[in-house]
């Protein structure tokens, strides 16, 4: 299997909103029991032996936070796609495991399971994205509100990680930027994705396979959805109630 570089996206938020009384410019620095969320993520990734190396993409100030870890810092750019491109510097023949810095409840088991599932399809696909069934999410985080999509196979939510072959990134940049730019304009996004695709989604008739094929055509690669039983991969922290959930969960598993 190709080696894996884990990439933690930890750029500035710039909004300066308040969460639990903390004025947050960068969510990576939001503390849970006096420990930055970024550190929870790194503490998990360094224990995953399938990962060859780790880089953090973020502002220079993170250097002090990560100095005790064997990771490298890549100074972030304004655009998320540009950050992904920058994260592959010096890593031209492997895969990137891209992880956001606001999912402190991820586990070694969840990351390993995702990697192992990706490996099963590595000869045929280049981009992998986890989806989690609503039932699995509510089993671990009962009562937590998530954004779900109803597909023909069931009700799912997405994750905050993905795996991609480095060799496919440059060819997907242009379309990736279009998707990011259109994500807040439903009409333009529908025109871009196609109205038939959108109507099937609205009518809950879209299949996972159709979704994979559409993403594959748009990004000029072969994409695969990975059904994960680990909702921690997509449970991010961005408001007061999320911190309460994270504190309780991390306390229960002994990470606090």
* Confidence at residue 27, expressed as pLDDT on a 0 to 100 scale: 84
* Confidence at residue 147, expressed as pLDDT on a 0 to 100 scale: 87
CA quadruple 79, 46, 67, 21: dihedral, nearest 10? 60
Of 89, 84, 88, 51, the closest CA to residue 70 belongs to: 51
* Confidence at residue 47, expressed as pLDDT on a 0 to 100 scale: 98
* Confidence at residue 151, expressed as pLDDT on a 0 to 100 scale: 94
Compute the distance between CA of residue 67 and CA of residue 83 in angstroms, rounded to an integer.
21
Kindly report the number of other CB atoms within 10 A of residue 202's CB atom: 11
* Confidence at residue 189, expressed as pLDDT on a 0 to 100 scale: 78
CATH number of 4-252: 3.90.550.10
Phi, psi of 206 (to 5 degrees): -75, 135
One pLDDT digit (tens) per residue for the chain, 256 residues: 899 999 999 987 556 565 656 666 788 888 888 899 999 999 999 999 999 999 999 999 999 999 999 999 999 998 899 999 999 999 988 999 999 999 999 999 999 999 999 999 999 999 999 999 999 999 999 888 888 999 999 999 999 999 999 999 999 999 999 888 886 676 787 788 888 988 998 899 999 999 999 999 999 999 999 999 999 999 998 888 888 888 888 888 765 5
* Confidence at residue 191, expressed as pLDDT on a 0 to 100 scale: 83
Given CA atoms 164, 32, 146, 78 in this order, what sign does their dihedral have? negative
- What residue spans define the domains of the chain? 4-252
Nearest-5° Cα angle at 10, 110 to 62:
120
* Confidence at residue 19, expressed as pLDDT on a 0 to 100 scale: 61
Compute the distance between CA of residue 26 and CA of residue 216 in angstroms, rounded to an integer.
32
């Amino acid at each position: 299997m190709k080696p894996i570089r884990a990439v933690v996206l930890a750029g500035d938020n710039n909004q300066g909103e308040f969460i639990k009384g903390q004025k947050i410019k960068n969510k990576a620095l939001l503390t849970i029991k006096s420990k930055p969320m970024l550190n929870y993520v790194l503490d998990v990734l360094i224990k995953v032996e399938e990962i060859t190396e780790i880089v953090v993409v973020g502002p220079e100030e993170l250097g002090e936070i990560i100095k005790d870890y064997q990771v490298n810092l890549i100074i972030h750019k304004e655009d998320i796609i540009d950050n992904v491109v920058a994260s592959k510097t010096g890593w031209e023949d492997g895969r990137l495991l891209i992880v956001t810095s606001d999912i402190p409840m991820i586990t070694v088991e969840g990351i390993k399971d995702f990697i192992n599932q990706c490996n099963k399809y590595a000869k045929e696909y280049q981009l992998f994205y986890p989806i989690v069934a609503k039932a699995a999410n509510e089993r671990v985080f009962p009562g937590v509100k998530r954004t779900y999509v109803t597909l023909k196979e069931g009700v799912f939510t997405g994750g905050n990680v993905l795996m991609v072959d480095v060799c496919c990134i440059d060819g997907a940049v242009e379309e990736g930027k279009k998707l990011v730019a259109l994500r807040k304009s439903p009409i333009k996004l529908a025109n871009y994705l196609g109205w038939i695709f959108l109507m099937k989604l609205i009518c809950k008739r879209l299949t996972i396979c159709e979704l994979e094929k559409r993403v594959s055509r748009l990004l000029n690669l072969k994409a695969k959805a990975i059904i994960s039983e680990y909702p921690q991969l997509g449970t991010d922290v961005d408001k007061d109630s999320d911190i309460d959930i994270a504190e309780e969960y991390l306390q229960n598993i002994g990470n606090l």
